[in-house]
Amino acid sequence: MAEYVQGIPIMRPYIDQDNQGYWDAVKNHKLVFQHCSKCDKYHHPPRPMCPSCHSQDTLEWKESSGKGIIYSFVMFTTNKMAYPAFKLPYAVVLVEMEEGVRITANTHEIEPDEVQVGLPVEVMFEELPDGQTLYRFKKREA
Amino acid sequence: MLQEYVDRKFRTDNRPPVDINLIKDKVAIVGVGQTKYTRDSGRDELDLACEAIKAAVDDAGLKMEDIDGFDTFTLDRLALPMLINSLGVPNVKFSGEISGGGGAGCSVAMHAAAAVATGQANYVCVYRALNEASGQRYGRGDSYAEYMLTAFTPHYGYQWPFGFVTPLGWAGVWGKRWMYEFNITREQLGWWAVVLREYAQNNPDAIYYGRPITHDDYMESPMIVDPLKLHDCCVDTDGAAAYIITTVERARDLKQIPAIILSASQSSPIEQEIQTVYNRPIISGLVETWYHGQELYRVAEVDAKDISVAQLYDPYSIGGVLQLEELGFCERGEGGKFIEGGDNIRIDGKIPCNTSGGLLSEAYLHGWNLVIEGVRQIRGTSHNQVKDVELSMVTGGPGVPSSGIILRR
């Protein structure tokens, strides 16, 4: 699932100082989340201050296990609300990672009727022809 | 985090008393105006706005030069100076724009009310004009990149690269989780769409006037983004609408029965984004709706059972039905059962909802049409007039920084 239509650009993330570390890690095929070393809490999306202890110097990037379960999802089935660079149908899954953080992405080799809440998945990375690196989720053994 | 919401106890068992509120009972909506709602206006948005504002000023029995304040969405594309130049308003003392998209549907009324309550302006015009159907579409992915380059852009970076660029998709994720957790069915959701379409059949201004649907039509309509079908989605609209806010004291000298603001509230809880609100302990509910609802009830010193009629911002059916839960019209997770058969939200039901046809069947005018219908219910001039209306509620959009007002006679 989630195959691209050639010739239509894939939108790029807007990178700023707060999320630079996240996208730099993706470029290196790693998934990281912002973590406060003082509170031992994850925060996503990343931000300049820990909302629990208000510290601005205890925030670090911690590598994710890459494992999670599908918490919810949508399936784009018509071109009305889909982005035209994707072949239909395609799913966007919300995955609850083992760290407790939830992120969205497309799927890899999961049939539409297999996309269900509770499905165990793990992250994988792909290099796009336009030079950007993105992540997806594929099935894993529970 | 958000434990108050998770427990749903904050301000319900023991609401802090209303200490000081300069808006309550002191400010009113005194004039309303709208253009024709169409799928292709053939006119620009400035042109549409002028017509709606003139209609609202006339409706109130005011002169254009009385207007000294304006409020709208940041999403609105009009340049206020051009509007002022066209309308011939001599001087504007207060102006504002509120972010958060449709969530601000009632925030704009609250800000205008605050301005007149504190004497910053006398008559504030709250306006919105959009060629949503024929022009650049808020809800469509193909025009998104250009249109939504706002301060919220960094958070969209976690969604956009995955072909996840439309509000319907973002809301579908929390909608799907709600349906999963509480066994909400499409059959149940369909009743929201069907009843709103029934209301639209009595409202000649509604885009879907003369085009009724049955529950079978709903079930057979195509899936747009699973879990949402065609008839779950709002109707893209060209048009403009406006209303005028002033003090109750000034309202006494004007033409119409004033719709007095009993309470007005806004809410933007932590972990807020624009619909992609996925890192909250619960995503199968609407945190901002619950908060602004609790504040509405606290200030008004009323409860859900006291509300006569409600216009709930419904860009898609799930957003409308979930608000019924969060505003206390039914229990948590019971929204599906509550709307089964539709009677609870029909004109003589427990809580008549979206009596002009709402965003699904009247017009998607970013909630302005809901405020106007809320005012009509107070005046007694709705095409689907509920009997003996005492309190008329209107809300802003779900999953975004949201808002609400309660109006009374």
**Statement: residue A75 has pLDDT above 80:** yes
Mutation to test the A interface, candidates B142, B149, B164, most A Cβ within 10 Å: B164
**Statement: residue B9 has pLDDT above 70:** no
In the three-class reduction of DSSP (H, G, I as helix; E, B as strand; rest coil), residue A22 is classed as helix
**What is the pLDDT, as a whole number, of residue B142?**
52
B168 touches chain A (CB under 8 A): yes
Among the partner-chain residues B156, B169, B283, the one whose CB lies closest to the CB of A74 is B169
Residue spans of the domains in chain A: they are 15-63, 65-142
pLDDT confidence band for B8 (50 / 70 / 90): confident
Among the partner-chain residues B154, B226, B276, the one whose CB lies closest to the CB of A14 is B154
pLDDT confidence band for B147 (50 / 70 / 90): very low
Measure the CA–CA gap between B159 and B171, rounded to whole angstroms: 12
Q: Token pair 């409308």 is at which residue?
A: B320
**What is the pLDDT, as a whole number, of residue A81?**
87
Single out the catalytic residue among B127, B218, B291, B364. Answer: B364
Q: Do A45 and B224 touch (CB under 8 A)?
A: no
Q: Do B162 and A19 touch (CB under 8 A)?
A: no
A51 touches chain B (CB under 8 A): yes
User: Mapped to the 3 state alphabet, what secondary structure does B180-223 carry?
Assistant: HHHCCCHHHHHHHHHHHHHHHCCCCCCCCCCCCCCHHHHHHCCE
B377 vs A55, B67, B307, B389, CA distance in Å?
A: 50, 25, 12, 7
Chain B: nearest CA to A9, how far in angstroms? 10
Measure the CA–CA gap between B260 and B409, rounded to whole angstroms: 6
Single out the catalytic residue among B138, B144, B208, B313. Answer: B313
- Pairing type for strands B69-73 and B124-131 reads parallel
Active site residue B364: yes
A79 touches chain B (CB under 8 A): no
Scanning B277-306 for CB atoms below 8 A from A yields: 278-279, 283
- Tell me which chain B residues have a C-beta less than 8 angstroms from the C-beta of A12: 157, 160-161
**Statement: residue B141 has pLDDT above 60:** no
Q: Do A81 and B156 touch (CB under 8 A)?
A: no
Give B273-285 pLDDT, tens digit per residue: 888 999 999 999 9
Instruction: Select the highest-mean-pLDDT range: A62-76, B2-16, B162-176.
Output: A62-76
Distance of CA A30 to the CA centre of its chain: 11
**Domain A65-142's class?**
mainly beta
Measure the CA–CA gap between B72 and B107, rounded to whole angstroms: 9
- Tell me which chain A residues have a C-beta less than 8 angstroms from the C-beta of B140: 80-81
Give B356-374 pLDDT, tens digit per residue: 999 999 999 999 999 999 9
pLDDT confidence band for B149 (50 / 70 / 90): very low
Give B66-116 pLDDT, tens digit per residue: 999 999 999 888 999 999 999 999 999 999 999 988 999 999 999 999 999
B182 vs A109, B133, B336, B337, CA distance in Å?
A: 29, 34, 9, 10
A125 touches chain B (CB under 8 A): no
pLDDT confidence band for B337 (50 / 70 / 90): very high
Q: Which of A79-83, B54-58, B304-308 has the lowest mean pLDDT?
A: A79-83
Asked if A60 contacts A113 with a C-beta cutoff of 8 angstroms, the reply is: no
Chain B: nearest CA to A141, how far in angstroms? 23
Q: How many beta-carbon contacts under 8 Å exist across A and B?
A: 125
Mean pLDDT of A126-132: 91
Q: Do A75 and B161 touch (CB under 8 A)?
A: no
**What is the pLDDT, as a whole number, of residue B394?**
98
B133 touches chain A (CB under 8 A): no
- Tell me which chain A residues have a C-beta less than 8 angstroms from the C-beta of B142: 83-84
**Statement: residue B1 has pLDDT above 80:** no
Could you tell me the sign of the dihedral formed by the alpha carbons of B120, B126, B131, B132, in that order?
positive
**What is the pLDDT, as a whole number, of residue B151?**
47
First to last CA, chain B: 39
Burial (CB count <10 Å: 0-12, 13-18, 19+), residue B190: buried
Q: Do A92 and B163 touch (CB under 8 A)?
A: yes
Q: Do A94 and B278 touch (CB under 8 A)?
A: yes
Q: Do A72 and B177 touch (CB under 8 A)?
A: yes
Query: How much of chain B, in percent, has pLDDT values that exceed 70?
Result: 94
Query: How much of chain A, in percent, has pLDDT values that exceed 70?
Result: 99
Active site residue B313: yes
B159 touches chain A (CB under 8 A): yes
Q: Tell me, what DSSP letter sits at residue A113?
A: G
Is pLDDT larger for residue B148 or for residue A96?
A: A96
pLDDT confidence band for B148 (50 / 70 / 90): very low
**Statement: residue B150 has pLDDT above 50:** no
Mean pLDDT of B19-31: 95
Nearest-Cα residue of chain B relative to residue A76: B225
**Statement: residue B143 has pLDDT above 70:** no
Measure the CA–CA gap between B245 and B262, rounded to whole angstroms: 13
Q: Token pair 């309470």 is at which residue?
A: B263
Rg, C-alpha atoms of chain A: 16
Among the partner-chain residues B140, B157, B164, the one whose CB lies closest to the CB of A92 is B164
Assembly ipTM: 0.96
**Statement: residue B152 has pLDDT above 60:** no
Give B40-79 pLDDT, tens digit per residue: 999 999 999 999 999 999 999 999 999 999 999 998 889 9
Among the partner-chain residues B142, B154, B283, the one whose CB lies closest to the CB of A16 is B154
Q: Do A92 and B168 touch (CB under 8 A)?
A: no
Q: Do B162 and A104 touch (CB under 8 A)?
A: yes
